[in-house]
Structure 1
């Protein structure tokens, strides 16, 4: 029986996973117009975030191969408190800059982003395995909470607005006049926005503390959990027996047989005894195909699209970038909820959805390459903006849906759910690191993406 209070606490806990980083991403429409890196700021942040992810990968290797274990609850609580403090510091010092390597950089924002990324990246490696101790019903609440980690900042951002540019004449040292873009203020400041995120993060931290120390009964019985991990084949055999009609011994309903447990083929002997035969090749192929698609999706969602989205949208207008960021993040909650009702297990269907998601990412990449004159910018700017925003929303929706779908399938179809979720988180980080390492030099060294001057029409 699901406890409603525990269910709500899990949602709040889940909302802390990537809350701080998502809050930074949706605020980029303001950061890029006020900080010295400009349109290339997202690529800097992507690289910094993945540098933090490398530290979590080092932990993951140590955890798997040295059998070094930690008490998850105190560690998670410490991470959440640390993330909350970093968010408060960001609210106070986000605009502090310093000269490094002969140019001005947003040192405060970048360094605090690195610290918060440590917390967020650790959520894939600590938070999900921690949730494996709970009844499976609470996993949906956790993923719903994860979607709120993008929805809540987007909601605040929609209320805040984006402002616009005012072009004023600026006198250069040589005596010539030049138009300079001055951003106007939104409904409330970046400081207030970051303070609201700090408050939410603090409440989520409190929710985790209450969940862990007051709702032990929401966790699965230890003996049941050990049974699931040690005798997975016997558990599968029990499912098989439940599906056998007493008048037609040995017949299994095809839709109910777990694909990842397809290493266990049901065979009826002449004496009526049911046996399980191993087919490890089929199991391994399906498992690694799912992991490969999860890696690709994570690369697109966490690094590729964020690094170039400014170039694909700001060339149309600031409001286009604002809508692309916020609406794509708002699409995450329904996308994470959808697998509850629509959970295809077929690899073909999952592959087709991954292909559509990748095609949307490629379209965004093409628009970014065309900046400062992307398609329809001069002839039909509204249609161009609509296509750009639609591609961002579609890619964000499918990435979130597929991430939840694939992770849920791997968890439910593996006997050792904690180990399965750990490796899901591991390869999500691998994909993100690869994407960041590919995109940063393209944006900042090869300069294949061009910025548009908002005062040139």
Structure 2
């Protein structure tokens, strides 16, 4: 029964960021079909930041009206909304309407907002629900949360999209804007040839991809349903199993007045009477995680948190299409999917190879920033970046995006671990600074990309870069 509970907790965790991660790795296909084109990532970044009204509302309600919101119905509504929005997205993602005289992907943006609302709100609803279960299931939940980025990336790779080739298109000289014209009775002198990009069909469509995502969200809803209705005997049996594997180091010395072990909290690593027993002073003294930091060190930690999140959640994702598409659609596809896979991989590395050294984390933050600078430079040079028609150019831009995401994800995880070991309020401020950095990065890039048009797009095949 404990193994089944672990499986349910893992599936439940996959629903935390599954939807919006799936939309993000599908962008290399969507930018070729939706009217926003290369502007699409910057719009999506703003939508994700606007969806933070969800966790803000939940947090304020818990503070001012704690009895009005119960965790179980809130989680049920959130997951159901995500599953329904994913299913509707499969059929409405390419539906456009005229806004200010121009076609826009209104259905895609509205549904993407609800998906972002679900995923952002999961940060303040899923984990409080998991507290109802035994602590041994919490790591399993985080494993599922990491898989929420890995699974959509694997499906995107299986989709096999992004293969493109340059083909000759015949254009009549008297109508240079026409496309797809045939020679017919027109002489060769009356036509000219133009290179156009032709995309190979994917192994399955975006509609199928979004249906798969909706199935994953429905499985998350089913896992939540069964977790919420677990018989109490399952949890009791799990606690008894943990209690049977106690070592001598986990037992406290009994007093002579006959006080019971339960009153003292015999097991220092497991709950007693519904609460976590306090460790002994000897354990606290030898705990390497209980490090103290000066105000300057705390300022450095929070600055790094804000800087890293502004890069990974606001600044660089807004220009990913400009940095990758000039090389090829395949480069964009691989950069989006492999960088999404780098996030859970970095979290796994942080679990087995943690480092709380601020100097090492600062060095990694600088290295990740350097990779981001290269990505930003290639976006600024669009549509003629370095090594454009070379396989090395494709490999370097993909590698830089993967290393950028991986190194900074590791830094974010370890900064969270450091602040978590310090105090609860420090972790709360970590979340606030994280969202502030993401918001500032998104607000900075949106006008630069969509209003001032500092980044240029062009067809890979037809645009001729100056020698």
Query: Is TM (by shorter chain) over 0.5?
Result: yes
Q: Where does residue 190 of structure 1 map in the other structure?
A: 206
Q: Where does residue 397 of structure 2 map in the other structure?
A: 388
Matches within 5 A, 1:362-373: 362-373=373-384
Distance 1:421 1:65, change over 3 A: farther
Q: Where does residue 72 of structure 1 map in the other structure?
A: 71
Matches within 5 A, 1:117-196: 117-132=116-131, 134=133, 136-162=135-161, 163-164=163-164, 167=167, 169=169, 175-176=175-176, 177=178, 179=194, 181-196=197-212
* Larger deviation, residues 354-363 vs 19-28: 354-363
CA shift, 1:366, in A, is 1.1
2-structure distance, mates of 1:56, 1:174: 58
Number of aligned residues: 412
* Matching residue within 274, 291, 295 for 2:306: 295
2-structure distance, mates of 1:341, 1:39: 38
Alignment gaps of 5+ in structure 1 = 229-234, 244-251, 263-281
* Larger deviation, residues 363-372 vs 394-403: 394-403
- 2:217 corresponds to 1:201: yes
CA shift, 1:222, in A, is 7.0
* Larger deviation, residues 62-71 vs 326-335: 62-71
TM-score (norm 2): 0.80
CA shift, 1:384, in A, is 1.4
The answer to whether the Cα contact below 8 Å between 2:350 and 2:413 also exists between their aligned partners in 1 is: yes
Q: Where does residue 454 of structure 1 map in the other structure?
A: 460
Q: Where does residue 109 of structure 2 map in the other structure?
A: 110
Q: Where does residue 263 of structure 2 map in the other structure?
A: none
Q: Where does residue 361 of structure 2 map in the other structure?
A: 350
* Matching residue within 348, 364, 383 for 1:337: 348
2-structure distance, mates of 1:421, 1:208: 26
CA shift, 1:369, in A, is 0.6
* Larger deviation, residues 15-24 vs 288-297: 288-297
* Larger deviation, residues 7-16 vs 158-167: 158-167
The answer to whether the Cα contact below 8 Å between 1:6 and 1:215 also exists between their aligned partners in 2 is: no
CA deviation string 1:321-358 (max 9, x = no partner): 01101111122232111122111122222222222222
CA shift, 1:106, in A, is 0.7
SS at match of 2:52: helix
Alignment gaps of 5+ in structure 2 = 180-193, 240-269
CA deviation string 1:57-114 (max 9, x = no partner): 3443454466676222221121011100000000011110011022111111111000
CA shift, 1:428, in A, is 2.7
The answer to whether the Cα contact below 8 Å between 2:322 and 2:455 also exists between their aligned partners in 1 is: yes
Distance 1:310 1:393, change over 3 A: same
* Matching residue within 400, 408, 427 for 2:409: 400
SS at match of 2:98: strand
1-structure distance, mates of 2:307, 2:283: 37
CA shift, 1:171, in A, is 6.2
The answer to whether the Cα contact below 8 Å between 2:327 and 2:460 also exists between their aligned partners in 1 is: no
The answer to whether the Cα contact below 8 Å between 2:92 and 2:107 also exists between their aligned partners in 1 is: yes
* Matching residue within 345, 359, 372 for 2:370: 359
SS at match of 1:33: coil
Q: Where does residue 191 of structure 2 map in the other structure?
A: none
1-structure distance, mates of 2:215, 2:342: 23
2-structure distance, mates of 1:450, 1:337: 37
Q: Where does residue 43 of structure 2 map in the other structure?
A: 44
The answer to whether the Cα contact below 8 Å between 1:54 and 1:433 also exists between their aligned partners in 2 is: no
1-structure distance, mates of 2:378, 2:25: 20
2-structure distance, mates of 1:59, 1:173: 62
CA RMSD of aligned residues (A): 2.8
- 2:282 corresponds to 1:241: yes
The answer to whether the Cα contact below 8 Å between 2:364 and 2:408 also exists between their aligned partners in 1 is: no
The answer to whether the Cα contact below 8 Å between 2:342 and 2:406 also exists between their aligned partners in 1 is: yes
Q: Where does residue 53 of structure 2 map in the other structure?
A: 54
Distance 1:50 1:322, change over 3 A: same
1-structure distance, mates of 2:5, 2:78: 21
1-structure distance, mates of 2:131, 2:363: 29
Which structure: greater helix fraction?
1
The answer to whether the Cα contact below 8 Å between 2:271 and 2:277 also exists between their aligned partners in 1 is: no
2-structure distance, mates of 1:7, 1:299: 34
1-structure distance, mates of 2:44, 2:16: 17
The answer to whether the Cα contact below 8 Å between 1:143 and 1:336 also exists between their aligned partners in 2 is: no
SS at match of 1:99: strand
CA deviation string 1:274-315 (max 9, x = no partner): xxxxxxxx4665555434433332222222222111111100
Q: Where does residue 290 of structure 2 map in the other structure?
A: 258
